[in-house]
Structure 1
Amino acid sequence: MSEAVFGDLDVSRETFERLTTYVKLVKQWNPKINLVSRKSLDDIWVRHIKDSVQVYRCAQPYASWVDLGSGGGFPGMVCAIMAIEDAPDAQFTFVESDQRKSAFLRNVARECGAKCRVISKRIEAVEPLNADVLSARALADLSKLLSFCDRHLSSSGLALLPKGERWKKELEDAQREWNFDVDPITSLTEPQAVILKIKGVTRG
C-alpha cells in the first residue's frame, strides 16, 4: 500500500515520510476535533493528500503562500511539506479561526519540519497578507473566496481554488460581481472537479 502510494505521488522518500507522519497525526486527532469526515479518512491518501499535491503542482514561483480556512491542513499543510525540499525559503501562512485546529496545525508543522505560521483569527480580521499564492479548499462559494483574494492576494498573485462538480455555476455567479482571469484544471482525483487558477481579481 505505502509503496504504491509513494510511486503514485511522485515525491521523494523524505517527503513521503513527512506526509506519512502527517497522515498519522490526522488519524490521531480526528476523533477529537473532526478534521476530515470519517468516510474520507479511509481514503485519505487520495481524497486529501494526492488532491492537495496536485494543487501544489499548479503553483507559480512564490515566496509567500497563504492558505485560508486551513482546518485539517488540506491543501496548505501538504503544500508546506512539499515546499521543504522545493522552496525551503518560502513562508507559509495558515489562517484558521478554530483554536483546536490551529493547535493541530502547529503540531504538524513541528513534527514534519514545515516552515509556517498559523494565525488564529477570522479571515476578515487578518491584515492583508499580500500572498504570491493563495489556496482555500471547501471553505466558501467562489464569490466569497474572491472577496478574500481581493484582500489577501498580491496584485500579481495566483489563487488556487479546488471546486467540485458545481464549479461552472459558481463561476457564472462570481463573474457577475468580479473581474478575473481563470484557467480551470481538471482534477486528477475527481473528473467532475477542477482546480481554478485565478489571477487579476478586481471587483466588477
Structure 2
Amino acid sequence: MHGFADLLRRWNPSINLVAPSTLGDLWSRHIDDSIQLADLAPSTGTWLDIGSGGGLPGIVVAICRPDLQVTLLDSDARKATFLRTCIRELDLANATAVTDRIERHPPAGASHVSARALAPMPKLMPYVVRHLAPGGTAWLMKGERWKDEVDAVKTAWHFDLTDHASRTQPGAAILELTAIRHA
C-alpha cells in the first residue's frame, strides 16, 4: 500500500487525484477509508469501480483483494494513465483501467460496483444499475448526509440497504445496496 501512496503523492501535483489539502491525511482520509470497503467485500465476482479517479477505492480493493477482478473506469485520460501506471508498478494482475464515460461504456455486468465521491445518489443510481449484474451489489461510499441521499432516491428506486458506519469519518457510511430495481 505504501507504493500506491507514493504514486498518489508523486502524481497529484500534476493531475489533482485528491484534494491537495487532504494529502497530509492521505492514509486516514483516503487509503484507510478505502481499506474498510475491501474488508467488507465478499471474495467472489468481478468488481467495477466507476469514476475511479485516483484509484480510491478501486486500486485499494485490487491490492487488498487479489481474489477479485477489478476494473477501474474513468473518463479522464490522464487519470486512467495514472491508474494504468499503478497497475503496472504495483503488479496488480487482477486490475484493469479503462478510459470511458460511465454512461457510454458497455454494460459491465459486474458482481460489484463501487463509487466514492463521484455523484449524489439520484445521479449515481442509473450508472450503478447500468453496470451491475442481476443479483449484484453496489458499494457507495457516502459522507455525513448519506441518509438524505437515500431518502432522495426512495421514490424512484427500490433496494435493500445495509449501511456500514465508516471507521474513518464520523457520520459517514458505506452503503451496501442489493436487489436494486426502478420503482
Q: What's the TM-score bracket when you normalise by the shorter of the two chains?
A: over 0.9
* Ranges of 4+ aligned residues in structure 1 off by more than 3 Å: none
Listed as ranges, the gaps of 5+ residues in structure 1 are: 1-18
In the TM superposition, residue 60 of structure 1 has moved relative to its aligned partner by: 2.2
Q: Distance in 1 between matches of 2:165 and 2:65?
A: 23
The SS at the match of 1:100 is helix
Q: CA RMSD in A?
A: 0.9
Listed as ranges, the gaps of 5+ residues in structure 2 are: none
Q: Which residue of 1 aligns with 2:158?
A: 179
Letter of the 1:107 partner, please give it: T
Letter of the 2:69 partner, please give it: Q
Q: Which residue of 1 aligns with 2:63?
A: 81
The SS at the match of 1:125 is coil
Q: Distance in 1 between matches of 2:163 and 2:69?
A: 26
Q: Which residue of 2 aligns with 1:162?
A: 141
What is the CA deviation profile of residues 142-198 of structure 1, one whole-angstrom value per residue up to 9, with x for unaligned ones?
122211121101111111101111111110011111011101111000111000000
Q: Which residue of 1 aligns with 2:120?
A: 141
Q: Which residue of 2 aligns with 1:126?
A: 105
Q: Which residue of 1 aligns with 2:47?
A: 65
Q: Distance in 1 between matches of 2:160 and 2:123?
A: 16
Q: Which residue of 2 aligns with 1:38?
A: 20
Q: TM-score scaled by structure 2?
A: 0.97
Residue 198 of structure 1, aligned match among 172, 177, 180: 177
Bigger strand fraction:
2
What is the number of residues matched between the two proteins? 182
Letter of the 2:148 partner, please give it: K
The answer to whether structure 1 residue 107 and structure 2 residue 74 are counterparts is no
Q: Is the 8 A contact 1:131 1:157 kept in 2?
A: yes
In the TM superposition, residue 61 of structure 1 has moved relative to its aligned partner by: 3.0
In the TM superposition, residue 22 of structure 1 has moved relative to its aligned partner by: 0.6
Q: Which residue of 2 aligns with 1:29?
A: 11
Q: Distance in 2 between matches of 1:83 and 1:185?
A: 19
Letter of the 1:48 partner, please give it: H
Q: Is the 8 A contact 1:143 1:178 kept in 2?
A: no
Letter of the 2:89 partner, please give it: E
Identity %: 42
Q: Is the 8 A contact 1:58 1:160 kept in 2?
A: no
The SS at the match of 1:35 is coil
